[in-house]
Structure 1
Amino acid sequence: MTISADELLTTTRSVRKRLDLTRRVPLDLVRECLDIALQAPTGSNAQGWHWVVVTDEDKRKAIGDYYGRSWRRYYESKASPERLYENDPARVATQQRVSASAAYLAEHMGEVPVLVLGCLTVPALPQGNQAGLWGSLLPAAWSYMLAARARGLGTAWTSLHLAYEAEIAELLGIPDDVRQGVLIPTAYYTGETFGRAKRQPLDEVLHIDQW
């Protein structure tokens, strides 16, 4: 697949309903994407990240069950996608589609061929704003998702599994000083490709020199 940098950055979508749950993803392809991810910047060049790639069917199902439980609680809350902009007629239809696709992924998470957990070695989580900490993981995780897109794979950034972080850590043997930051379902996607998403105009969110 040949794709320009601009197209890659503007068409890498959260793929949920279009993940191919029946097609095996070669581990070597996942390794390629992670090798690229390791080139991302990280605070103080600490490189404290770890990547847990889950292909075992039983373990994927167990993680999917935890994720589904967390989704159901989230869906019933005021923060769910369907309720987020319920008073904005211009965004209701879009949010309903997002909610439906998120529900589909929650139902099928355990069937996705590869689950990638991005983690950081953290002896203790700091109090207050943790942006500096997780800023050492997020660029690498996004690089992984971009590399996957360039290779015909779909991904989605998810974090609802963190409600069961301890249980998943025990399932996978993750040490106590390693914290999970993201769960990235990975599969070939169905259909041809993806387009740009509708976003608010830049000038609505841009502030120069002051708010």
Structure 2
Amino acid sequence: MTDHVLGPDELLTTTRSVRKRLDLTRPVPLELVRECLEIALQAPSGSNRQGWHWIVVTDAEIRARIGEYYRRSFEAYQRSRPPAEELYPGDRDRIEVQHRVSESAAYLGERMGQVPVLVLPCLRVPGGELPEGNQAGLWGSLLPAAWSYMLAARARGLGTAWTSLHLVYEREVAELLGLPQDVRQGALIPTAYYTGDTFRPAHRAPLAEVLHLDTW
């Protein structure tokens, strides 16, 4: 638990994706993860189905194997991405930020399997096949709970990051974890104590650039 009690606005604006500052050597008590998940279970879900399931991985060998799948997927993703200079031509500030993000993402890509706890939020999907078309309702029954988990972790001195690149190997990871056919993975959330505590609101584009009243 952190010594500094976070108010709701500070909690919401300083819960960052933690990658390079995850403490890979300090064990995370399972009871602390359970506390965060108990809070996550209070999130809303479509028709109150509560169809979520949570895979918490602490076994070193399983973490390493999941980490290897993630590393492969991240390297392929990294090769496919254009450089920041092409994405944001002339915007030096944004280019510098993206370089830092890319560097930290690469750091985690190499070390995902070393993170003390890996949490995989999952959903039961009838037949195991994702529906065609708009899936907002489906994943909208899982993402609020996953975000609540991440907020609860932040309030307790734990860092997390939302990742999903392992889903390129979703079937292989499902077999590794013994998941039933109708259980689909939504994300992979590394969880560890973080080093330092200088989290602050991130720079974002002004609200005026993305707010539309009544019409576009």
TM-score range, shorter chain: over 0.9
Q: Structure 1 CA distance, aligned partners of 2:32 and 2:115?
A: 15
Q: Contact between 1:78 and 1:84, CA under 8 Å: does it hold in 2?
A: no
Secondary structure of the 2:80 match is coil
Q: What residue ranges of structure 1 are gaps of 5+ in the alignment?
A: none
| Counterpart pick for 1:193 among 180, 195, 198 | 198
Alpha-carbon shift at residue 83 of structure 1 (Å)? 6.4
Runs of 5+ consecutive residues of structure 2 not aligned to the other structure: none
Partner of 2:8: 5
2:129 pairs with 1:127 = no
Following superposition, the deviation at residue 90 of structure 1 comes to 3.2
Deviation at 1:84, TM superposition (A): 7.0
**Residues 70-103 of structure 1: CA distance to partner in whole angstroms, max 9, x if unpaired?**
00000011367x4673423331100000000000
- State the Cα distance separating 1:129 from its structure 2 match: 1.5
Query: 1:85, 1:91 within 8 Å by CA — same for their partners in 2?
Result: no
Identity %: 71
Correspondence for 1:63 among 55, 63, 66: 66
1:1-211 aligned at under 5 Å gives the runs 1=2, 2-78=5-81, 82=84, 85-87=87-89, 88-123=91-126, 124-211=129-216
Matches of 1:193 and 1:47 in 2, distance apart? 35
Count of paired positions: 210
- Classify 1:35/1:79 alpha carbon distance in 2 versus 1 (closer, same or farther; 3 Å): farther
For the residues of structure 1 that align with 2:135 and 2:171, how far apart are their CA atoms? 19
1:163 aligns to what SS in structure 2? helix
SS at match of 1:116: strand
The secondary structure found in structure 2 opposite 1:182 is coil
User: How far does residue 193 in structure 1 lie from its aligned partner after superposition?
Assistant: 3.4
C-alpha displacement of 1:192: 2.3
SS in 2 for 1:119: strand
Provide TM-score, normalisation by structure 2: 0.94
Two-structure CA RMSD over aligned residues (Å): 1.2
1:85–1:95 contact (8 Å) kept in structure 2: no
Per the normalisation by structure 1, the TM-score is 0.97
List 4+ stretches of structure 1 deviating above 3 A.
none
CA distance in 2, matches of 1:153, 1:106: 19
Partner-residue secondary structure (3-state), 2:187: strand
| Deviation, structure 1 residue 138 | 0.3
Secondary structure of 1:67 counterpart: helix
Deviations 1:105-147 (A, max 9, x none): 0000000000000000012211011111100000000000000
- Write the distance in 2 (CA, Å) between the matches of 1:83 and 1:169: 37
C-alpha deviations, 1:179-207, integer Å up to 9, x for none?
A: 00010000000012311100000010000
| Distance in 1 between residues matched to 2:122 and 2:184, nearest whole Å | 5
